Amino acid sequence: MTSSLPAQDRPILSETAGSPRKRLYIRTWGCQMNVYDSGRMADVLAPLGYGPAETPEEADMVILNTCHIREKASEKVFSDLGRLRLLKQEKEAAGQRMVLAVAGCVAQAEGAEITARAPWVDLVLGPQTYHRLPEMVARASRAAGAQIETDFPVEQKFDHLPDAQGQQGPVAFLTIQEGCDKFCSFCVVPYTRGAEFSRPAAAIVAEARRMVARGAREIALLGQNVNAWHGEAPDGSTWGLARLIHALAEIDGLARIRYTTSHPRDMDDALIRAHGTVPQLMPFLHLPVQSGSDKMLQAMNRGHEAELFFRLADRLREARPDLALSSDFIVGHPGETAEDHAATMRLVEKVGFALAYSFKYSPRPGTPAADQPFQVAETVKDERLQELQALLRRQQDDFNRACVGRECDVLMTGAGRHPGQVAGRTPWLQPIHAIGPEGLAGQVVRVRITAAHPNSLSATLLDEKELACA
């Protein structure tokens, strides 16, 4: 399962040659893979003349790229669709047209429900079919009624996508693997993204080179089970993720490599070694465990026991002593007892995390756990989540405070929130800000961390004089 992150409520921009004739707005919820998908949808539509819109009000086409991980995800989509219906009616009254599309995992899982409850939607497409957007837009312009594409097509969408255009920011997301064969009891991903598929190594390396040429200094490799990636190599053999990381590390100008989201069962020896031998591979790993109870791990169909996670944490830190771990946790899975919750708390205490995402279990229609007996009461889930989050918050604060006084390299990503500030990310993915000159975005600079705040760090640039003269 890809970790669910805060919604990216912003337009995805794709610049085309000349002035665009139409405007496109994409609202993205969920994980980094959805952010990547939204960018590629913009690339696919750019040849049709669609340029960026800052708001839905100025758009000729609006796409809601949805995520099914969060609780009540579909209801949030329908709420947005209700507001967009009024906007679409206003445009029609003024003699204009707005194409409205729902994409992503909610579209895949609930396409028929969307067309039934929101017949004003023009396009419904799953995450494997957005390369068909131009054809769907053309069909929608010729015929009334929603156009639906929620198949898992035999041809791979990556073979049908144009190269991304325009300037790339310092940090880029690159999908290398999609789908999941794990079938965790709580997760909809196997049903919305399909079976595991690994892109060929040559295609990934070529796309990474293009990203670096357009300005990327850091690339985050994405997949629902990214460390299960086993792609065809240029010589016809099969590479694992560690070998791919070594190949990407040879790209001139690529300073940093990350990957997410991983499964403990797919952490092999070569990948663990890569954390100690590839300088570009950042010392931060998101490795979801979900529970510390062996009984719950079995009920979740995770396929491993807590002891495996303990061994992996030790081996990773042996390979890279400064490595920090992040994880996902679910409390209140059906059948979870107080003893099971206590086992999760013990795992957190023993391993220690720099960051973690924790959630109450909520049923997802069609998943095995949704119909299991012994559902945990909401009040009990609330209490357990609060206790777990308090411990995780203390560990995050302790980790950030332990960084004060440390010198490290920071990838600058742009201006800070206040005048004269510059902002970036540490090797451990912490947001950091400092007083510094403009124009540092894309540079890796040396800093000394001076203070820890609830959600960020302050720092002093160590080579400010040299930077000012650059």
pLDDT digits (tens, 9 = 90+) for 153-209: 544 656 655 566 667 799 999 999 988 999 999 988 887 778 899 999 999 999 999
Q: What is the pLDDT of residue 33?
A: 80
> Which of 63-67, 338-342, 347-351, 355-359 is predicted least confidently?
63-67
Helices (H), 266-414: 269-277, 294-299, 306-319, 338-351, 378-402
- For residue 180, the cross-strand partners are none
Q: Is there a binding annotation on residue 180?
A: yes
Q: What is the pLDDT of residue 155?
A: 47
Interatomic CA distance for residues 369 and 431, integer angstroms: 36
pLDDT tens-place string over residues 17-60 = 444 588 999 998 877 788 888 888 888 888 888 888 999 999 99
Tell me: pLDDT of 119 over 50: yes
Distances 331 to 50, 67, 232, 300 between C-alpha atoms, Å: 44, 20, 38, 12
Let me know if 52 is exposed, middle or buried by CB neighbors in 10 A (0-12, 13-18, 19+).
buried
Domains and CATH numbers, the chain: 22-149 (3.40.50.12160), 157-402 (3.80.30.20), 407-469 (2.40.50.140)
User: In the prediction, which pLDDT does 7 show?
Assistant: 40
Which phi and psi angles does 194 have, rounded to 5°? 85, -170
User: Is 184 annotated among the ligand-binding residues?
Assistant: yes
Residue 354 has phi, psi (to 5 degrees) of: -80, -20
pLDDT confidence tier of residue 469, bands split at 50, 70 and 90: very low
Dig out the tokens for 453 from the structure: 């705040």
Dihedral of the alpha carbons of 90, 111, 196, 363, in degrees to the nearest 10: 100
Phi, psi of 424 (to 5 degrees): -165, -165
User: Among the residues of 367-463, which ranges form H helices?
Assistant: 378-402
Structure-token pair, residue 378: 């909401």
Of the candidates 47, 84, 56, 60, the residue with the CA atom closest to the CA atom of residue 141: 60
The pTM assigned to this predicted structure is 0.76
408 annotated as ligand-binding: no
The span from the CA of 98 to the CA of 57, in Å, is 10
Helix axes 73-93, 105-117, angle to 10 degrees: 50
Q: How confident is the model at residue 143 (pLDDT cuts 50, 70, 90)?
A: low
Give the integer Cα–Cα distance in Å for 457 and 242. 31
Arithmetic mean of pLDDT, 441-461:
96
